[in-house]
Structure 1
Amino acid sequence: GVVSRLPLIVCFLTANHNSLLTLLMGIPFERAIKYHKVSGYLAFVNGIFHTIVAYIAYKEDAGKDQEIIKKFVSDGQVNLSGSLLLAIILSMVITASPYIRGKAFEVFYYFHIFFAMAMMGCAFYHSGILVALLASILWGGDVLIRKVYMACFRYPTSAQIKQLTDTVVEVKFPKTAGFDYNPGQYVKIAIPKLSVFQWHPISISSSPHQHYVTLHIRKRGAWTTRLHELAGKRTEVTILLEGPYGSLGVDLTSDRYKMVMLLSGGIGVTPMQ
């Protein structure tokens, strides 16, 4: 049981944009996410072994009962919550598969959040307050930092929008104190006029030395299409921001490289202006 809990705690720890890994070790979310995936799969495998061992012990005590599996699953708070917990992790593994993420990202995203909250409840009833408390502190604290402090108090909440072409919209807002970023970083943005719940990662296309911040967004899916239509009707919108996130994989500030070649295509060319 203890072995099964540890990957769950690591899973919640590495699911945060503002985590201890980032603060203490400098590991950004984009690189920590692979540990999130590994710990999630490990929690699932551990859960299966834990269930098998518990079932064998239960079967020895129950004898030759024809409905042993049904009774095992629903016998008491611990067994029922443990069975639900394993089913939840299995559902998260399935909905987080590359195929579903690629074809229906919102299904993956909303199911992941719902199952994560359900997992904390089942973990509380199954093994006590430890996992639920740590997960609530780690995940809940990150949500408060990103969705409340950054989006509502720290960063600008109004931006100008403009159609640049038939497929590209420019979002522009003043660079306020504390909004420091490096070339290549991105922000996550939500536009309440379109949806409060949809946050999209967009590369910053303006220079860190400029007094304003620009994002260039290409019309591609439903949200970006609606944004393009909105830019044709108005010039200013309310925005919610979090970030900036991301870090370069190489050190461009040192003298290690005499020459650096940068390649980009499509809308990815905008940060290289």
Structure 2
Amino acid sequence: MMKRMESLKQALINDGLIYGFFALWMGANIGLFVYTFWLFETADIHVLMVACMGSSLSLAKASAATLNLNSALILLPVCRNLVSYLRGAVIFRGGLLRLLDKNISFHKWCGYMIMLHSIIHTVAHMYNGLNFQRASEDPNFVPCTDYFVPGTPIPYYFSMLYSAAGITGMVMCIVLFLMMNASFEYLRKTNFEVFWYTHHLFIVYYIGIITHALSGLVQTVNPDGSFTKAGLTAWQWVIGPLVIYGIERITRLFRSTQRVVVAKVVQHPSNVVEIQMLKKGFKATAGQYIFIQVPTLSSFEWHPFTLTSSPEESFFSVHIRVAGDWTTSLAERLGCHWDAKGNQIVKSGYKGNPSKMPTFNVDGPFGTATSGDAFKYSTAILVGAGIGVTPFASVLKSIWYQQAQGLNMKLRKVYFIWICRDRRSFEWFQDLIEALELQMVSQGMQAFLQIDVYLTERIKHEEITNIVTEGDASEDLLHGQHTKTHFGRPHWDKIFAETSTKHANEQVGVFFCGPKVLGKVLHTKCNEYSDKIQHGGARYIFNEEVF
């Protein structure tokens, strides 16, 4: 019991506000469900229909109310401009910022709730049809609706399927099934196009949910014995979020039509292409991301990429790993080619006629957990795994420029940890690390930035022998830098213990981008070691890169 309480206490250190928001949202769902169920069970205007169909009617209407709530909420987290605006608001600081960074998680929660209550609603109405059919066969049957007349050739059960409610219900179930299955991480990463297209079926879903009650199957009883259709109510729930989302899409459309100039294309080893672009009025902070569309490849697809340029540079850039159909086609249009091992076939990028350069549309930038937040701490730990290093390229560049300009920063110490399996992936990032180190050495600030690279790839014995034999003891044995390369995975307990000793009683910002499994480990360590602050440790604030 004590161990569970200790784990809960540690979890609340970083995520208390997130758990509180989740509890509020879950409470709203449960409260609305229970209230609507109770209303249909007890209200006089529903007594005939409940007597005829049973509590399955109350269950169907309670799940419908919860569906309306979540159908309204699910749009707001994906309004990227709204989220970015809120991140810049004065009231959003600390835990509230981390709450905003969970916008996609909240979007998923709402999606799961919609799927759950769609199943409940559908199954409950199936029972309603059967119960009504059985009740209507009773000689003493008292009509509870004038939509169906007992004794007609077409039974109620089948008439319900042919009604507006039945048709829209079936269409919405199919749409939700397609959207949910295309949202699984594996399919989303391997075939983003399927995810993108199926998710835009949300338009069909909202048309369905607004018109679902058009036929008026559920009716109330008036004092004179006549019946009144319940009417359309779903639109009252979703109209506000739909308007906000409409403004969001118009804003995206306007920004995406602004002219983008591709200033330079650089082909890097290991199937990586760097694209440097210019756009009038474009302003970004360190660690933000953009969406890119190439009309010649697809008229509708937008793909997210983290900015690798810093705010101080005159252009903005992205580094794209060529791994799928869309990125492969893009690289070919830019004149970039690699052999089977990822070696460059040509030494530079685009060599064709500039007039044939594909047109780029850019939407953004949008804020995330690393968007300048690292500069709000005196000590920051940046952890990038594999291609997850890209947002930190922007942060490290910004540090370099601010140091070069002699700007006064709150940030006094940066620990940068990069975990990578393939050592060849270091190549495109190498120049930045070297330039940053030279800048720090020239200003006598070697202690400001500590870079540790962890190489998880198994290296042959003879390669290690050559590295040790030829390397300078004062430099990194693998790359010839002051930065040290470690073989194997980080020993997190050792890293956090040493940092806690060096920065006792401080708040240390931990920023991570990479696999979810590693993110969970880091999150746990942040909570675990933050709990030791009363014993002279540090408090670790965990932030994770999401988009």
Give the structure 2 partner of residue 144 of structure 1.
250
1:112 aligns with 2:199: yes
Q: Rg: which structure is higher?
A: 2
Cα distance change on mapping 1:91 and 1:159 into 2, 3 Å: same
2:108 to 29, 37, 41: 37
Q: Secondary structure at the match of 1:93?
A: helix
CA–CA distance in structure 1, aligned partners of residues 67 and 125 of structure 2: 13
1:268 aligns with 2:389: yes
- Whether the 8 Å CA contact 2:292–2:361 is kept in 1: the answer is yes
1:63 to 128, 134, 138: 134
Give the structure 1 partner of residue 178 of structure 2.
91
Q: TM-score, normalised by structure 1?
A: 0.82
Give the structure 2 partner of residue 133 of structure 1.
239
Give the structure 2 partner of residue 3 of structure 1.
66
Q: Secondary structure at the match of 1:207?
A: coil
Task: Trace 1:1-273 onto structure 2 (pairs within 5 A).
Answer: 1-19=64-82, 23=86, 31-63=102-134, 71=158, 74-114=161-201, 116-127=202-213, 128=232, 129-130=235-236, 133-134=239-240, 136-146=242-252, 148-153=253-258, 156-165=259-268, 167-174=271-278, 176-177=280-281, 179-232=282-335, 233-235=352-354, 236-248=357-369, 251-257=373-379, 260-263=381-384, 265-266=386-387, 268=389, 270-271=393-394, 272=396, 273=432
Q: Which moved more, 1:82-91 or 1:5-14?
A: 82-91
TM superposition shift of 1:61: 1.7
Paired letter, 2:268? T
TM superposition shift of 1:157: 2.2
- Whether the 8 Å CA contact 2:263–2:278 is kept in 1: the answer is no
Gaps of 5+ in 2: 1-63, 138-153, 214-231, 336-351, 397-431, 433-547
Per-residue displacement from partner, 1:69-89 (whole Å, max 9, x unpaired)? 961651421233223323322
Q: Secondary structure at the match of 2:239?
A: helix
CA–CA distance in structure 2, aligned partners of residues 124 and 2 of structure 1: 13
Paired letter, 2:368? S
CA–CA distance in structure 1, aligned partners of residues 322 and 178 of structure 2: 32
Gaps of 5+ in 1: none
Count how many residue pairs are aligned between Structure 1 and Structure 2: 266
Query: In angstroms, what is the RMSD of aligned CA positions?
Result: 3.1
TM superposition shift of 1:242: 0.8
Identical counterparts, % of pairs: 23
- Whether the 8 Å CA contact 1:77–1:126 is kept in 2: the answer is yes
CA–CA distance in structure 2, aligned partners of residues 197 and 112 of structure 1: 12
Q: Secondary structure at the match of 1:247?
A: coil
- Whether the 8 Å CA contact 1:194–1:223 is kept in 2: the answer is yes
Q: Secondary structure at the match of 1:79?
A: helix
